[in-house]
C-alpha cells in the first residue's frame, strides 16, 4: 500500500464469531484512540448478503482502502456478490483471524 492516506473499513464480524474477540477489541480500541478517521460496520457478511450499496460507495473513490476483517478471498467475494468491482491494486485486506492486533495496527496507523 502506498503512503497515501487510506480509507479504513473495520468489520466487527458480529455474527460469525470467527475472529478472536480480543483481537477485534484491541484493534477497535487502538483505532478509536488514534483519532484517525475510519468506518465501522457490524458485519460485512450481512451487508454483502443484503447487497448494501455502501459497499459500492466504499470502493468508488481514488484513495486506497484498507479493510480490517478476515480472509482476503472471503472479503473479495463478498464485494463480488454485491456486484462491486474489487480493485486489487487499491484494496488491502487485513485479516484479524490470522494477524495480531499489533500487526494490523502497525499497517493502518502509520
Report if residue 97 sits inside a domain: yes
- The pTM for the full model equals 0.92
Evaluate whether residue 2 is within a structural domain.
no
Closest listed residue to residue 67, CA positions, set 5, 4, 6, 2: 6
Order of all β-strands in the sheet with 7-11: 39-41, 7-11, 65-69, 91-95
Grade residue 1 by pLDDT with cuts at 50, 70 and 90.
very low
Q: Give the pLDDT score at 62.
A: 86
Q: What residue numbers bound the domain in which 37 lies?
A: 7-108
Q: Is residue 44 part of a domain?
A: yes
Please count the structural domains in the chain: 1
Tally of residues, the chain: 110
Q: Which residue has the higher pLDDT, 1 or 57?
A: 57
Amino acid at each position: 500500500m502506498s503512503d497515501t492516506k487510506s480509507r479504513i473499513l473495520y468489520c466487527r464480524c458480529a455474527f460469525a464469531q470467527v475472529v478472536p474477540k480480543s483481537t477485534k477489541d484491541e484493534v477497535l480500541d487502538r483505532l478509536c484512540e488514534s483519532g484517525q478517521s475510519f468506518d465501522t460496520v457490524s458485519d460485512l457478511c450481512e451487508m454483502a448478503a443484503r447487497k448494501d450499496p455502501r459497499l459500492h460507495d466504499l470502493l468508488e473513490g481514488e484513495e486506497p482502502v484498507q479493510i480490517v476483517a478476515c480472509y482476503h478471498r472471503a472479503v473479495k467475494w463478498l464485494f463480488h456478490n454485491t456486484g462491486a468491482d474489487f480493485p486489487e491494486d487499491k484494496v488491502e485486506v487485513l485479516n484479524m483471524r490470522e494477524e495480531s492486533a499489533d500487526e494490523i495496527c502497525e499497517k493502518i496507523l502509520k
